[in-house]
Structure 1
Amino acid sequence: MHEPDFVTIHLIVVEIFQSGTQRWTDRLSISSSKLIHRFLHCKCYKQNKNQFLSLPASVVVSPSKSQHFNYEKISVSCEQFGPGEWNVWRYTSLEKFMSQCGSGWGFPTLSACEIKTAKTPDSGVYWCESKNGDSSNGINITVTDGPVILQSPVLPVMEGDDVSLHCKTKTPPSNLTAAFYKNGSLIRTEPTGHMTIHHVSRSDEGLYKCHIGSHGESPSSWLFLRDNSAPASLTPSPNSAQLFEYKNLSLSCGHDRISRGWTVKRAVHIDGKLVLQSCPQQSITPDGCLFLTVKVPDSGIYWCESPAWQRSNSVKISVHGGPVILQSPVLPVMEGDDVSLHCKTKTPPSNLTAAFYKDGSLIRTEPTGHMTIHNVSTFDEGLYKCHIGGHEESPSSWLFVRDPRGSSTTHPTMSWLRLLCHLVVFCPYCISTVLMVSLYRHRSTAKTPPVSMVMAQLSEDDEGSDPQYDDV
């Protein structure tokens, strides 16, 4: 941590059962014979900035490789840190426009997308995104109609690991002699088509490909090492979902991101498609991008992205030429905060009486054009707009509310797991004292088993039976 910020850490337990159901909780329980997987996720955020320090989701591709032959089945799924609606998005290498699974490609399922017969135009960058703009990192998938692929890790690898590369043909045999290249230069030739990079380091990052004589060459794929720094966060200024035309919009990716190759990207509507664009060279700033005198065509989705397709959160900003806008936070607000909405006209005065609406229903009328939602909750999340008599109605914008517990299903009281977490972090002296007292008492009464043994023992009635779970 480089800044003296208060950080909150939440542990979320995810349990997956044979029936396919999932249980999200903050409690640990005894294993069940019907339990298939259990995951422990740690979510961190800065309390004073509403900024997440851990990615809310990760993207997983099956089969786990960066290159695929034509007509293979590819599944892209989202492993999120909390329940909610997550969707798979992509932008393709050929067309450079952004789209969601199910909009002309792929078959969406619960937090996943299946491409049953992938083809070359499906090559591109894929990621997971929630309705409020939280995002996973991206992965680059290449689909080729050629006879050779290079099987390499699709996700960044850990420094120090051994990394295997496999040069594979579409038809058997798949263990032919292959030459491996990095950044266009020959590394070496392997007789079985396999090459291992031992104790991988930053110097091994690069663009890899392979060649099998009489068959051909594979496409190229990037090998990246995992970046252990905190995820980037896009911060817009002003923090408003709506802007009038000819105002300035500043977007920051955070300290030192731009110097490390990050850039602000956006997807704007052109001919009914979300077309991918990068921050113009003349608009790049030390920490992001500055758009001067924005116009209606600048409306779109904005985010930060690294050369390795790491992604920040994304925000949807609308630019309007009309006489009225609703100034509301474009970033998700934290549950319990006070949220201000301002119905504003393009020309003075800007404190006229305004009616505020949520999801099409009137909330109330405010004489100064300002409305405050006190102690905001997830029930306040929705689509807001306003109307000033004698002028016009503003466009609608979403207000997103972030639950600090990670999900609305988490138990509202602090569980023993959270209490233990606080004790471990903040009270090591207390824990050591308790252990010393326990040890002393154990020596005094040798016939009495220690507390830890009593907690771990199961009665005969409990053995062989599935545990009872608390409702979440």
Structure 2
Amino acid sequence: MSDEATIRITFTNKPVITQQPSRSQIFQGEEITLTCEVQGGEKTDWWYDWRRNSQYLQQKNEKVLKVTASQSFNEEYDCMATRRDDIYSSTTGSEAFTVSVLLETNVGDNGVIQVSKGGIYRCRGERETSGYLSDMSDEAYIQITFTNKPVITRQPSWSQIFQGEEITLTCEVQGGEKADWWYYWRRNSQYLQQKNEKVLKVTASQSLNEEYDCLATLRDDSSSSTTWSEAFTVSVLPQPKAQLGTNKFNMSEGSRVTLTCSVNQPAGWKYFWYRDSKTSPLTKYDSNMYWNQSEVSQEGRYWCRGGRGGRGGRGDPLYYTEYSDPISVTKIIPNKATLTLQHDRPQLYQGETIALRCAIDGGNTGWEYEWETSSLLKPANVSQYRMEALSSQHQGEYRCKGNKLRGAQSTDWSNTVTLTVLSRPKLSVSPSWLIPGASVTLICHTEPPSAGWSFYWFKAVPNSQDSYTYEPLPGTSSGTANNSFTVHGQTHTAGYACSAGRGDPPIYTQHSRPTFVWSSGVHPSASLTVNPDRVQHFTSESLSLTCEGSSSQWRLIRFLTDDSLLSFLPPATINGSTYIKNEAPRKAVYWCESGTEFSNAVNISTHSDGVILVSPVYPVPVGESVTLLCVMKTGNIPSDVFFYKNNKLIENERRGEMKISAVSESDEGFYKCQYNGRESAQSWMAVQFVSRQKGFPMWTIGLICGLLLLISLLLLCCCRKTEDLCFNRLV
């Protein structure tokens, strides 16, 4: 263990000592009460420590200390406070508080007496032997001045006071809050007739500066008083005038004008609005009450003024500025602008031509046109905006208005037309993976679907620029009215695209992005091999993809199935193979392309953790054996695994592998494994079907065999009847 470290916290709150009674002079034998007050720490639970003349007193922990004045003429006391729940957290010590003790002297031979109150004093002597009294002495006036100095505060506390405003001055005796005082006020060194009040209400006069000071005397001792306070200067400014401005003087039907009111003296003003007369204030339904801006929709003559004061800043103000000069707002009824779209088709495709026309009621002569749009291309100042070869830059909202070539008249903005430029149609194929003997259906989607389209169908042919050229499918060069097309006899991986056209002469959309139908069957002219030969892989592994066949120029394609993202991978790097590092979990289809050749396609998925199923990438021929395994990320192959086909448990027992000795067509399906609560993803195991020789159908062969059997029975029966006839004849 380390050495101990003691942490002490000292608060910035400093204690202050107060005395009761608050007399400045204490006589021997009098009892006084000292109180230790922690400023700002009234809600904290404290212990208190007291010292007298720098020596700790035995009595402690009490906030109040009772002291009997001793014969010492001066004694100094100070205090400190410590938190009750944390003895290491305390305040600093207070300032020293001095108790001055006077000795009370009776009249004696020297005729000297000490007094503690002010007033008029006289004395006379008396002989001790005879009791003879002398004449009274002359009067002696004793005036006591306390060190407590009054301070004047003002409400409201604004830095600037305006002519006619009422303010309140308060005379505060610091440290004498519990004493009973009379108060005296002076203005510009002249006593005011009003006296004895702590509070003085003043209405600011035209004088630019007035000085006020105050003095306090004890009510029970008019000869004991404070000094005069410091002079308090009240600076008075002339009554301000509100300023009214506007963003425009004319407004059209349905629009608003913004009025702004200001006072050229910052000080927490509220603002009041008036229309048509200074006695007709606007209500909260007409304007934003008390705000310096107001939006008005009615024509008329407007004023404003500022105000401040009131009870707690609410209600009617006690002081107002002068009214502003008036502003007149008028309403105009302008010509109306209308924006129309040719063909009334707000959704258009790239490459089409369209026009927007801005028309003004009463004719288009003498107007200049102004356009506002959110698109990237701004129209010129013409009445008709023609857009040819539409692109995404034309997409957005449009509106227009007219400005008179002579004069300041303008129309309001027209209605808004939203133009949507669709980039290209979308093509879907069904099925995505080829089934032997099945046809492929292509569907071309336009957004939104609408009548009047002709559809055109294309085969995607790889080119040397990491893209495709498009060749029309046989018999489709004139287009089809139906948005679907069926391809028969497709056996290998292939890409397709579509476009649409409408109008006379027709305007064509761009080609759709290529969409692919994949085949897992390997053929000699183009093939893709994967090493290691399995569908599922961990992200920490790398795999090798090799394109082989009749071409020497191949490109490897990857299609991310979750994102529908097609990408061209870099060329082969090592021995004709492309090595891929699996950096993130994903599902993808890979295939090779060269010229018109497409290889088989393979499904590859990568996983960051858990277990994976080892299953073949390629279709398994009927009759061959296959083994499925469950593998952990460490490479271990557990021996207690459950295997599932199409989400159904194959056998209710654990095993290390699943072996199918002779694969049949019924073994095709989705497989997965489960180990210790962790489950692999599903993988499709395809089966390569055995192709049958062409010939008579089986039902035909069966029918022929049946007919031959029937003929044989008839011949046998006839033969027996003939034998019987011959025998009878011989007899």
Please, what TM-score do these two structures have when normalized by structure 1?
0.41
Look at both structures and tell me which one has the larger radius of gyration over its CA atoms.
Answer: 2
Q: Which has the higher helix share?
A: 1
Please, what TM-score do these two structures have when normalized by structure 2?
0.28
